[in-house]
């Protein structure tokens, strides 16, 4: 269950990053509200998950999902440029997250 919380927190991180972009420097009300809600939810779930998980792998999953999700969202819906290098880099971020998770397994 702690991993489910961290994964959901990672998706919420994507939401707060996108809302931060859409707020245009905290000048648009609803994106600022979204930023606050997504941010509170993300940090809250991450905090709950960290009660039972090692900080390194959990933080890597949280930031990896957030970074990859934000980059993908930007390319699909916000008109960010798409390139092979960006897509490969997202894959490398996700591979690094998986590697950190696997390295934390006790044998």
Show the low-confidence residues of the chain (pLDDT under 70).
104-107
User: Could you list the residue range(s) of the whole structural domain that residue 98 is in?
Assistant: 2-103
Report whether 45 contacts 9 (CB < 8 A): yes
Closest CA to 101 of 63, 61, 67: 61
- Whole-number pLDDT of residue 105: 64
Closest CA to 54 of 13, 2, 7: 2
Report in angstroms the alpha-carbon separations of 44 from 58, 74, 86, 87: 14, 25, 30, 30
**Domain count of the chain?**
1
């Amino acid at each position: 269950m702690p991993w489910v919380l961290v994964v959901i927190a990672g998706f919420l991180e994507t939401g707060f990053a996108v809302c931060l972009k859409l707020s245009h420097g905290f000048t648009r009300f609803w994106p600022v509200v979204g930023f606050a809600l997504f941010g509170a939810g993300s940090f809250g779930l991450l905090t709950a998950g960290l009660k039972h998980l090692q900080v390194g792998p959990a933080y890597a999953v949280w930031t990896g999902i957030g970074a990859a999700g934000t980059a993908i969202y930007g390319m699909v819906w916000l008109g960010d440029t798409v390139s092979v290098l960006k897509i490969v880099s997202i894959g490398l971020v996700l591979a690094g997250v998986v590697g950190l998770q696997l390295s934390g397994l006790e044998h």
